[in-house]
Structures are given as structure tokens and as C-alpha cells.
Copies of this chain bind each other. A is one copy, B any other.
Amino acid sequence: MKQEIAFIQSEELKVKPKADSLGFGKYYSDYMFVMDYHSEKGWYEPRITPYEQLILDPAAMVFHYGQAIFEGLKAYKTADGTIQLFRPEKNMKRFNESCDRLCIPQIDENFLLKAIKELILIEKDWIPEGDGTSLYIRPFIFATEPYLGVRPSHQYKLLVILSPVGAYYGDQLSPVKIYVEEQYVRAVIGGVGHVKTAGNYAASMKAQEVAEAKGFAQILWLDAKENKYVEEVGSMNIFFKIKGEVVTPKLNGSILSGVTRDSVIQLLKHWNIPVREEKISIEEVFAAHERGDLEEVFGSGTAAVISPVGELNWNDRSIEINHQKIGQLSQRVYDEITGIQLGKKEDPFNWIIKVAQV
């Protein structure tokens, strides 16, 4: 795609929120990237405009047949003023995989990454400085054609919005209580669980609500076919450290292929810590605990990076992991990845893409 990205200047800029009140996904920057699609034109009119309300027909297909996908990544400002991204090409690639699964026309990955960089440069003052903070980048596409027949839409909108965020779970890593879900399922092989569709998240809320009412922070999803094998935790991938070895569920078509998941695996290999991607049953996890071999459990995702699990509840049985304290490895992985992201640690994997020096 060789189109120029138009720029429409905002007449007035917002007051930026304080770094200690950011939370997650509450504030949006002054500008956004927008691009439209029509089946007769392809993707057209890429532009950076003021962050503004969208105008949509009530019959726009997104409201009815749910073609909506997204990505999530972050921009960081290092101590020396470098603005950088963490493996954004992985997000671009997965974005297209989500497109394909939901019959949404694919995008030019390089072009979108270029657009994101331009947007971030304009919004560089929105990247917060402070531990655990970053500028969250949310690219998303949804169907806009006003039509009520069931088929892929002929019109779409792609946007990228930016939100300055604090650490997802607050200042410190703190282990959470997890409920192993047996009634509801998140996804099944042959479905859409391996890509980032809006509908996946809507479908997951009920189980989360039930678990919260029982006093748990998140749910651990089991596979839909046998209700036996571990899939994900909340909206994160999951890792178990059992007797010095790390195991994470193998990508099987219903598990999301997380960028942080992949980074954790590479990191562990780099450290010569044994790590295996394989089918792991919840029964094996509990048996490992019984033997005293279950040392650490943690989730991985872009929003929280690493989220330690302190307790697992399955079938009315509760097990405590590492005395509800952060495991050494969980902390080490967290420090390393956030260290690389913030330019405090070396980047032997070439994960970092530098956008600019400010």
C-alpha cells in the first residue's frame, strides 16, 4: 500500500491524566488512525484525525453479526527518551489471521505498522513515564455496511486508538485466586478461540462474573471437548513450573497465540530452563501439587505481562501455590520482559522496534 496518510489537526488538545491515576483503558489520546474499506475500493483514505465520535447506521453489521477483531500492544518510553515497540510485527500478523477467520479483508501489515508509528510520534507526549506505565495501542476493525442478511460485510472501518495505561493489576505483582471453570467454555477447536475476535470476550464474561461472585479473580478455562485439559487463564496464556520444568498448553486451534507467551518460551530457552508446550490436564496439575512438585503458576499477556497465580480451585478442591507468594521465576520473567520493553535490559532477541528518540 503506497497511500499517503492524511493528517487532520485537532483544534484543541486534552489535559493529560496524571501518571498515578491511569488505570487501564480509561483515557484516550488526542488523535486516532482511521482507514475505511469498501469491496469495490479496497482499504482507502488512511488518515490520522482527532479522536472523535463515530457515526454509524443502526443496521451496521457489527451490531448484528459481530464481525469485529482487535489487537493490543504497547509503546514505551525509555529512560534515555527512546520510544519503542515490543514485537509489533507479531500483532500485525495475528491481526491478519483474525481477519481471515472472520472473513474480513486483510490489511497490509507493513503499512499499518507504519501508520501506528506515525500516530505514536504525533502522540509521543501521551506515553507516560513511570514504572509499569505505557501507551496501550488498540488497532481494531469492524463491519459497517448497513445490511441484515447474514454474510460478510462489504464495508469496514479500521481504527487505532491510544490509551495511556498504568500496570494492569496495580503497582506490584500480586498472586491471584483462580477458579477452574467446568460449566462454561471459552472456545473449541474449529471455532474462533485462536484469534482475537470481540465475540470471544463477550462469551467469556458470564463465567468470569460467576467466579468473581465466588471470590475468585479469574477463571482457568478447560478444553471444550473433554473438560479436562488446561487452555487459558482469564484472557491470558498460562504456565506451570513443575519440578524445575515449565509447561504451557500447546497451541491447538482454540488457544490464543500470545505474543507474551512466545516471548516467555524464548526467554526460558535462552536461560536453559526446560520448557515444553504440551497438552496438560488439570488433573496432572493437581497431582503435581500433591507430590509437592508444583512450584509456580503464572499467566502471560500484553496487558499484565505476567500475573502470578496464588490459588487454584477445581471441583471444590483448593490448592495454594508457592504459599500465595510470587515465584522466583515469575518475577524473573516479568523483570526481564518489562526490562527489555523499557530499555533497561539488553534485547538479545531483537524484539524491540525503535520508533524515535525524543
Contacts and interface: CB of A to CB of B under 8 A. Distances in A.
Given A163-B148, A198-B62, A54 B56 contact: yes
A143 to B, nearest CB: 8
A102, A150, A208, A225: residue with the most chain B Cβ atoms closer than 10 Å: A150
Interface in A136-173: 136, 138, 140, 142, 146-152, 159, 161, 163
Given A102-B206, A103-B209, A202-B199, A148 B65 contact: no
A189 B27 CA distance: 37
A202 B66 contact: yes
Interface string A54-78: 1111111011111110100000000
A152 B188 contact: no
A152 B100 CA distance: 27
A136 B148 contact: yes
B55 A54 contact: yes
Interface in A1-60: 23-26, 28, 32, 51-60
Given A32-B58, A140-B63, A147-B26, A197 B202 contact: yes
Contacts of A56: 53-54, 56
A2 B79 CA distance: 59
Copies of this chain assembled into the complex: 2
Interface string A222-266: 001101000000110000000000000000000000000000000
Nearest to A234: B150
A355 to B, nearest CB: 21
A281 interface: no
Interface residues of A, number: 68
Nearest to A28: B59
A348 interface: no
A356 interface: no
A183 interface: yes
Nearest to A70: B64
Candidate in A53, A64, A151, A202 with the most chain B CB atoms within 10 angstroms: A202
What 5 pairs between A and B have smallest CB-CB spacing? A199-B199, A25-B148, A66-B198, A185-B190, A65-B201
Given A102-B205, A150-B205, A197-B199, 15 more contacts: A23-B149, A25-B148, A51-B58, A52-B58, A54-B55, A54-B60, A59-B138, A64-B70, A66-B197, A66-B200, A148-B163, A150-B201, A185-B189, A191-B203, A225-B225
30 contacts: A25-B149, A26-B147, A26-B148, A53-B55, A53-B57, A54-B55, A54-B57, A54-B58, A54-B60, A59-B163, A64-B70, A64-B140, A64-B201, A65-B198, A66-B202, A67-B202, A68-B202, A102-B203, A103-B205, A150-B204, A150-B208, A151-B205, A151-B208, A189-B224, A190-B224, A191-B191, A192-B202, A198-B199, A199-B200, A224-B224
